[in-house]
Structure 1
């Protein structure tokens, strides 16, 4: 029986067409050709990289003595930063970071014992051990910490955990000691580069910016401004009409030396060792003939007879204007043509340069920060006024100046100023026979002779010009400050177990102060009032005999002879007899 018929036509299923070998092969070959080219390029790159690495390795790339390339350093720093957990970065030090505090002091001992050999006394890593390591020790210097914005948590993390494949171990110490180390690292001595000097004369904004005055800094730097405003630097010169308390002595009390009244005093200069009084005549100021001895609380005559410029001026004080002899250092932006200033006193721009560009757009590139300069221009910011010297061009418009006319911190001081010369072996108004300063305002003349100067130590390593609670605006108490870089565990010495054993004086005595022996008060400022030397040399009693220079021992032991001092020093068996004069 036949099957029923359907009206629907049977469906035809299309069978796949056989591949056309003629058309398919070129496409396949094209894909294979493209992949082959990529593989060839990758292979060539791989061989090239291997070749570069091989050449790098065989040419000394794996030795620590060779300085790494900038790319290698960048990658290493990036990987180290990447390894720090985010939750650690925000940790705050629970301990005090006060420079003179107990935690920072404890941290200093830990640092000198465990860290200083590689990281150096200032954290820069420029030590015999540190310079031989790769990767180099983490730069803990003040400038590096600020630049990389290292947080307390990051420093804690590095100390606690170390850095793999480097010489930095993970220190197994209690948490409190780790934080004490962080406290001290925040207070490491401020030093600057002694190689590859950054020149102040290369400042990009020099010639564009103008002076604005210290008050323009107050908005952003209120804490620094408030501290600075209370320092002697901010109060060198004061107007008694604005500051009735500026005049220290009572001018209403008669004295044969005082021939002037309060009404004659336009400006008051000084308040620490001496105070002088300026009278305004026309557009200039002149020093009145009596000055106040702050130490002895008595009047003394003001007469200058020995300075180099005396030969170029009449003996009458009222023919010796302060514009040529004083005002350039007691103000900001003194104009010798019209005798105007941006402000009196040592204002912010005296040390940081003209600030108008920085006020408009605050960046680190349009203001001078001495910590970013080399040690010469960094110290020149202070030496410009704390030194005895002469302008290279003198006279200027027929007048002889006693300050570096034309210089500001965006320039090189040596292009404008020459330090007072001295002939070794001669004692002069300015120098003792060994070259140490004989008079005040010569800290710079002293300091440039010191070993500290040549090792990158700066004035601001020890002094905080914005103001501190310590004498002379030191960053820390004197002995604490010295022990940052010196001490039993330091290559700088002294190597006695304690300071008392080094000084041979009782722990709480004046003789146990580092500055008593290494910074004796021998530079005369007024009568028998002296200020501290800044060469940091230990002047022995034997040197007093041969060179007629005051020695550290007899400055304190005034009732004793130099022979007594020499005999006493020779009993110190930890000292070389050749240095002590025997």
Structure 2
């Protein structure tokens, strides 16, 4: 917390303690009254504080292979996807090429060597002792664009090696880049920061239980199925399989299947595709996201930029909740096939499926007159002359300024080789770059140009449209992050006009330094009555 706010924060904590004390007193008084009204026999027993036995839970799962016969098309798409290959055992047909022939590579002050012998993959790298140690690779996590490798340690631990493999270039590289992490550090591959059981396993597998034992500092991690299987998204299906086997030809409606709402589907995806804290370790599809996780929002940290662009490894869900797309009801499956996870159409064809006038909820966009760049399939007047999907290869286009995603979904590389699109659908704003060093898509591409050059063209092309509420909101958040006392009034003003639950929650969080002030306290307490759990939280 910035020094400027330390005194205010102390007041806020004192006030928060007082509020909690009052609430506890009210609760106690209510319970005291309840004790007089009910006999002990009618009082429900306390809910168990432990998870349901995993044998009971896992018995509800049928496994992805049980889906193949009835859902052949969906299964064929899934089994080649990054979800299906999220985690697996070492397979000679897939992995031998990475280890054979043997090779070594240097990274920072360290070196690693990989080798394939007798159908076994080994990696020699600097271990916890500070000396080279040879480990047998037991499992692989990830598929495209990179693969990481797991080795087994005492206490049921699996550790993720820093030596990673790029299958496209057939290259080994250090997933940390030039950080040169040292043995004994939290983030070294032998440390807790790269422990698979806690950091990776739950989103690379189906219905995982970490089973950490604090007394022995050990794990007995188990899962319903290795990799992200069908039931990781659809939930347990053993009952469905049994019913279909018995009554499938009867024509009756299957009582074991319920259709998820659009909002629930989005939360199911978000359970893994979010920067969040895991509160329960036992999410299953259909559960409310907020019952199991605390979502990371734009705040005083450096995890997000003030306009909502991703900065740290934030994944997609949080950014998307703050986007106009989410505000208009778009969900992941509108753009992504649920089984292959690929986009339903390539490049601009995907965006223009809605932004061509066919969807009354989406503004009509002519990509040429909107972007002021050359666009595949359009002439210079913005007339569509070629809509042949087979000839449209976005990755081969040299002049990429006319591609919607390059302006509104800029990419950031994580783990050195994994380029990910920002799902905040933000609007490039060089003015924010000039004032607060918030990146803009124009200068991401035109790296040889100045920010003033980008400001000039944005003003020329878009004029007053650039002075939009999202700019004002980002400015006040950025000023708060810079310890500007005037940000208090600015944040309050923006909050009053904000209709996005995500951004209301973020703005309320930004008011924390002034929480002890009566006006701010009242605002925060009113937020507890909001219909959205993000705002209430």
Structure 1 residue 266 corresponds to structure 2 residue 138 = yes
1:136-155 aligned at under 5 Å gives the runs none
Deviation, structure 1 residue 578: 2.4
The partner residue of 1:422 within 295, 298, 318 is 298
Q: State the secondary structure of the residue aligned to 2:104.
A: coil
Q: State the secondary structure of the residue aligned to 1:572.
A: helix
Q: Structure 2 CA distance, aligned partners of 1:557 and 1:241? A: 43
1:521-536 aligned at under 5 Å gives the runs 521=411, 523-527=412-416, 530-536=419-425
**CA distance 1:276–1:234, change in 2 (3 Å):** same
Q: Which residue of 2 aligns with 1:514?
A: 404
1:240-279 aligned at under 5 Å gives the runs 240-241=90-91, 243-245=93-95, 248=98, 252-256=102-106, 257-261=111-115, 262-263=121-122, 264-279=136-151
Contact 2:102–2:113, Cα closer than 8 Å, also in 1:
no
Q: Structure 2 CA distance, aligned partners of 1:303 and 1:454? A: 36
Q: State the secondary structure of the residue aligned to 1:271.
A: coil
The partner residue of 1:219 within 69, 77, 83 is 69
Give the stretch that moved more between structures: 332-341 or 294-303: 294-303
Which of the pair is proportionally richer in strand? 2
Q: Between Structure 1 and Structure 2, whose CA radius of gyration is higher?
A: 1
**CA distance 1:226–1:325, change in 2 (3 Å):** same
Q: State the secondary structure of the residue aligned to 2:80.
A: coil
Q: Structure 2 CA distance, aligned partners of 1:226 and 1:488? A: 34
What's the TM-score, normalizing by structure 1? 0.54
Q: State the secondary structure of the residue aligned to 2:112.
A: coil
Q: Structure 1 CA distance, aligned partners of 2:86 and 2:417? A: 22
Q: State the secondary structure of the residue aligned to 2:222.
A: coil
Task: Flag structure 1 segments of 5+ consecutive residues without an equivalent.
Answer: 1-205, 307-311, 394-404
Q: Structure 1 CA distance, aligned partners of 2:466 and 2:265? A: 38
Q: CA-to-partner distance for each residue in 1:396-433, whole Å, 9 max, x for gaps?
A: xxxxxxxxx1110132221110112432xx461x2123
Q: Structure 1 CA distance, aligned partners of 2:144 and 2:235? A: 27
Task: Flag structure 2 segments of 5+ consecutive residues without an equivalent.
Answer: 1-55, 116-120, 123-135, 212-219, 245-252, 377-398, 473-537
Q: Which residue of 1 aligns with 2:349?
A: 480
Q: State the secondary structure of the residue aligned to 2:319.
A: helix
Contact 2:355–2:362, Cα closer than 8 Å, also in 1:
yes
Deviation, structure 1 residue 260: 4.9
The partner residue of 1:392 within 271, 279, 303 is 279
Deviation, structure 1 residue 516: 1.4
Q: Which residue of 1 aligns with 2:237?
A: 355
Q: Which residue of 2 aligns with 1:503?
A: 371
Deviation, structure 1 residue 228: 0.8
Q: Which residue of 2 aligns with 1:556?
A: 445
Deviation, structure 1 residue 510: 1.8
Give the stretch that moved more between structures: 297-306 or 229-238: 297-306
Q: Which residue of 1 aligns with 2:19?
A: none
Q: State the secondary structure of the residue aligned to 2:77.
A: helix
The partner residue of 1:343 within 225, 239, 261 is 225
Contact 2:98–2:170, Cα closer than 8 Å, also in 1:
no
Q: Which residue of 1 aligns with 2:388?
A: none
Q: Which residue of 2 aligns with 1:379?
A: 266
Contact 1:358–1:367, Cα closer than 8 Å, also in 2:
yes
Q: Which residue of 2 aligns with 1:462?
A: 335
Contact 1:447–1:534, Cα closer than 8 Å, also in 2:
yes
Deviation, structure 1 residue 539: 2.3
Structure 1 residue 327 corresponds to structure 2 residue 237 = no
RMSD of aligned residue pairs (Cα, Å): 3.3
Q: Which residue of 1 aligns with 2:507?
A: none
Q: Structure 1 CA distance, aligned partners of 2:240 and 2:65? A: 13
**CA distance 1:373–1:490, change in 2 (3 Å):** closer
Q: Which residue of 1 aligns with 2:467?
A: 578
Q: CA-to-partner distance for each residue in 1:47-89, whole Å, 9 max, x for gaps?
A: xxxxxxxxxxxxxxxxxxxxxxxxxxxxxxxxxxxxxxxxxxx
Deviation, structure 1 residue 313: 8.3
Contact 2:146–2:417, Cα closer than 8 Å, also in 1:
no
Q: Structure 2 CA distance, aligned partners of 1:305 and 1:389? A: 26
Q: Structure 2 CA distance, aligned partners of 1:563 and 1:273? A: 36
Deviation, structure 1 residue 323: 0.8
**CA distance 1:536–1:379, change in 2 (3 Å):** same
Q: Which residue of 2 aligns with 1:401?
A: none
